[in-house]
Amino acid sequence: MVNGFGLAVPPRSIFPPSLTSNHIEGKAVDMTISWKNTIKVKKKDGTVIDIPFMQNVNGNTALHQAGESYGVKKLKSDAPHWSYNGR
Amino acid sequence: MKILITIMIAMTLMACAKDSDSAARSYNLAWFHGNCLALNETTIKTDWNIFLLKESKEVIKATLGKKVEDDSCAPLLQDRREVNEAEGYSFYQLVGSEAVADEEIGVALLTTEEILPEGLDTNNNKQADSFSYCTTSEGVVFYSWDAEKGELEPFWQEYYYMGYDVEPSCKF
């Protein structure tokens, strides 16, 4: 069962799972986004911004701005994590 | 004359000792999970010593083994692999780390030195370093800091994505 469900028990992890995560209420999503060079993205207000690809997604402030305009905020400590409140 | 030569030799030896003491030692910082070392540094040689800093303050000496690309290395488990590889890490087996349990994690020091000196100063700023780890919402941050700036301003940190949500403990 541990393997089947990929449960994070030792030796996979020593940390118990969070019981307060935004994922539990479906208010967060983990996603890995990649593209080549720079793309143009329309924000919710209609303005178009250039977003370069950056290996470090936590440092890609232009991407964060685009997401935030639609109410999807980046949690900067964890690369794939986005949510309604940035946590 | 004899006294003069003795003094000159003594001064030369003192100068050499001073140079040796102040010579910057080279350390690289990394992290481990069980028998697996995560490296984002490509200049490490297989004959370097690896010191694993356990949470119990015990230090285990190991050496670099073969590169691992399957999920026998915990950071390469299916739910973690993509993000950890995107962070730029390569993963290596640790040789001689039998005293490290499979679930243990911590900071690793890689160096050509045979032993770790007292007051270890990996960033060569004449301040002893401290090492620890804390959790973010989905991972672990390994970090090191100087006494002057304190734990909230680490001079080195690396991230380990765990693939599920944990309670965050990091204060920075």
Q: Do A6 and B86 touch (CB under 8 A)?
A: no
CB pairs under 8 A between A and B: 76
| Residue pLDDT, tens place only, B4-39 | 444 444 444 444 444 444 456 789 999 999 999 999
Give the pLDDT score at B24. 65
pLDDT of residue B12: 43
Q: Are strands B90-95 and B36-39 parallel, antiparallel or unpaired?
A: antiparallel
Q: For A54, name the nearest residue in chain B, comparing CA atoms only.
A: B86
Q: Among all residues of chain A, which has the CA nearest to that of B79?
A: A6
* Radius of gyration of chain B from its Cα atoms, rounded to whole angstroms: 20
Distance between CA atoms of residues B38 and B48, nearest Å: 15
What parts of chain B have a pLDDT lower than 70?
Answer: 1-24
- Residue A14 has a pLDDT of 92
Chain B nearest-CA distance from A7, in A, is: 9
Nearest by CB to residue B83, choosing from A13, A17, A79, is A79
Give tens-digit pLDDT for A6-61: 778 888 899 999 999 999 999 999 998 899 999 999 999 999 999 999 989 999 99
Return the pLDDT at B26.
85
ipTM above 0.90, yes or no: no
The pTM assigned to this predicted structure is: 0.85
Q: What is the pLDDT of residue B16?
A: 41
- From residue A15, alpha-carbon distances to B31, B96, B103, B134 in Å are 17, 26, 10, 10
